[in-house]
Amino acid sequence: MFRSHGQRYIQSYGVNTDQIRFIKDVTKCKTPALGGVLISCKTCDQKTYLYKSCGNSQCPKCQSIKRLQWQDKLSSKILKCPYQHIIFTHPHELNYIANVKTKLVYNALFKAAWNTLSRLSKSKTNLGATPGMVAVLHTFGSDLKHHIHLHTLVTFGGIDKMGEWRFPTRKNKIAPYRQMCSTIRKEYLKILHKSLEQEDLESYEQVQTTLSSLANIRWCVHNTPPTMHTKIIEEYLGRYVCRIGVSNKKLKYDDQTQEVQLEYNDYKNQEKNKAAPKAIKHIDPLVAIHQILRHVLPSHFQKVRYYGLMTTKNQKQICKNIPDLLRQDKNCIRKLFEILRALLQMDDGEQEIGCISCGAQDLAREEVKPDPVWYNKHIAWKQKGSKTRNRSPDNDHKTYHPPKNKPLSQVAQVSRALGVQKSGTTA
């Protein structure tokens, strides 16, 4: 899909350098442009090429190793105490601000979530201590719509000023639900008001009325009961840490009909205590590319953050007071897996791999160098004289727009569905 329509999308709509880099990396992923390995069978001369991944932190086709590494790192930090999964949802009325002020809005959500939990936890009626929190930002729903929310894993307890471990006063939550909703609303609006006023006074005056109206509605905060079995939550969070919210399996592109099929979870028709049924929607390729690029995060943005007891600094200092029963014996676990992986590799693992044609195990391995000519010959998304060429990293904040005399008749119908204005920004 990106190889067939990425060039047309870039020329027709306003995109920034991060999105151009993402399109280029995805179109190169697992192709001769990046090089790879050639496996040859010495018996039947069967040849198999294994090409390298692009390594983009948001590519939907690779990054599985980085995901497992992150899960292993998170497991080593998890304490042997109950954890509560809390989800803070960003109001959809402010999504258009996130399209323009992406970093500002996402940073405000992180700060507001931690300020809410730390403020409520300091109250002796709730906890009277400092908890730990791991926060992971999601900007998408199952159907790739703009659904900004923050998944957090919060320790069901914390360390007080005396250095002693304390559990919450309630059995199933750190603070009352209504108190949590009102506090996140107050903290987020305060941070957003201050940030917008300091950074862009003109934008602040335009959205001031909308921000004021949101102070009178209840915000959505979802609390799950505390649990010691955090493995499922860790796998769920890790699933989307190193990619955008759609995998290559859920997205199917038909080159003949020029149509994209997206498989998603139909939560509207979900029955109680049952998994959500699967549904399929058919969308135009440019619409699909637009929905995917909307979730590309800015460069060097940290979508996973640690707070309180979960930070490295506090784990070295404050967490010395945590009882031994609550500590994770992380060294033994990590060393055990490292030893097992090494033994599996040493135990003649390569002898079990055979030729896909004849099954012979006498294979030869040869490095394949990257082929820059292949990309220009088969994809060639950069046309001669395009303004997207030779862009310097200093212009990352700038947005590329096509020339005014550029005909847009090819995507006129799609632009109405996307709500794209002449300037290239979403309405």
> 280 versus 405: which is more confidently predicted?
280
Nearest-angstrom CA–CA distance, 237 and 137: 9
Domain residue limits, the chain: 79-245+295-327
Q: What is the pLDDT of residue 109?
A: 95
CA angle 250, 255, 259 (to 5 degrees): 60
Q: Helix (H) and strand (E) counts for the chain?
A: 13, 15
> 301 versus 326: which is more confidently predicted?
301
In the beta sheet, which residues pair with residue 304?
Answer: 136
How many Å is the maximal CA-CA distance in the chain? 74
Provide, rounded to the nearest whole percent, the portion of the chain with pLDDT above 90: 22
Nearest-angstrom CA–CA distance, 362 and 355: 8
* pLDDT band with cut points at 50, 70 and 90 for residue 423: very low
- Is residue 66 over pLDDT 80? no
Q: What is the pLDDT of residue 349?
A: 44
pLDDT digits (tens, 9 = 90+) for 86-127: 999 999 888 888 888 889 999 999 999 999 999 999 999 999
- Is residue 384 over pLDDT 60? no
* pLDDT band with cut points at 50, 70 and 90 for residue 380: low
- Is residue 237 over pLDDT 90? no
Mean pLDDT for the chain overall? 79
Q: What is the pLDDT of residue 241?
A: 76
Provide, rounded to the nearest whole percent, the portion of the chain with pLDDT above 70: 80
